[in-house]
Amino acid sequence: MTLSIVRDSVAPLLRRLFHMFWRFSRPLTVGVRALVLDGDGRVFLVEHSYVGGWHLPGGGVEQGETLAGALARELREEGNIELSESPVLHAIYFNPHTSPRDHVALYVVRSFRQASPPRPNSEIIAHGFFYIKDLPADTSRATRERIAEVLSGGSTSEIW
């Protein structure tokens, strides 16, 4: 069985189980994502083992953790990216696709250091910097919309 078949069949069940647990343990879930732009105007994306498509790096904010702290941790874990300056908060979105309690804070990161590319692991199976006009075909809808919102300077949706 290929990884994508396992991921596509197991991921929805795992998400439901996690959200059932979170419903009782957390009244609200909060996540962070980063739109990391390099000096060439490319955006950093990751491909997870547990959900299809390419996404902005990020993840859940743990209890006792700040949004900025969670973002720094997720960027280290998923991209071997160390922030050089404080990231800029772009917007906070309601994410009803994940849960009726989920919110995502999107930060824009333009100043960072990546000493070496991250190694693929059990969570992040691929990663890379991509020119906006050359995003992978299976880049998620939400990722494409967030990139367009940030780069166009136009209106920002309230929904992830």
Label the pairing between strands 42-48 and 88-94.
Answer: unpaired
In the sheet with 29-36, reading across from the earlier edge strand, the strands are 58-60, 29-36, 102-109, 88-94
Per-residue pLDDT at 4: 66
Distance of CA 29 to the CA centre of its chain: 14
Per-residue pLDDT at 23: 64
How many Å apart are CA 131 and CA 147, to the nearest integer?
11
Per-residue pLDDT at 144: 97
CATH topology of domain 3-152: Nucleoside Triphosphate Pyrophosphohydrolase (3.90.79)
Per-residue pLDDT at 135: 98
How many Å apart are CA 5 and CA 3, to the nearest integer?
6
Per-residue pLDDT at 97: 87
Closest-CA residue to 147 (of 79, 31, 45, 29):
45
How many Å apart are CA 60 and CA 111, to the nearest integer?
22
Per-residue pLDDT at 47: 97
Question: 140, 55 in Cβ contact below 8 A?
Answer: yes
Mean pLDDT by 10 residues, the chain (160 residues): 64 75 74 98 96 96 96 97 98 92 96 93 95 98 97 94
| Helix or strand run (H / E) with residue 131 | strand 124-131
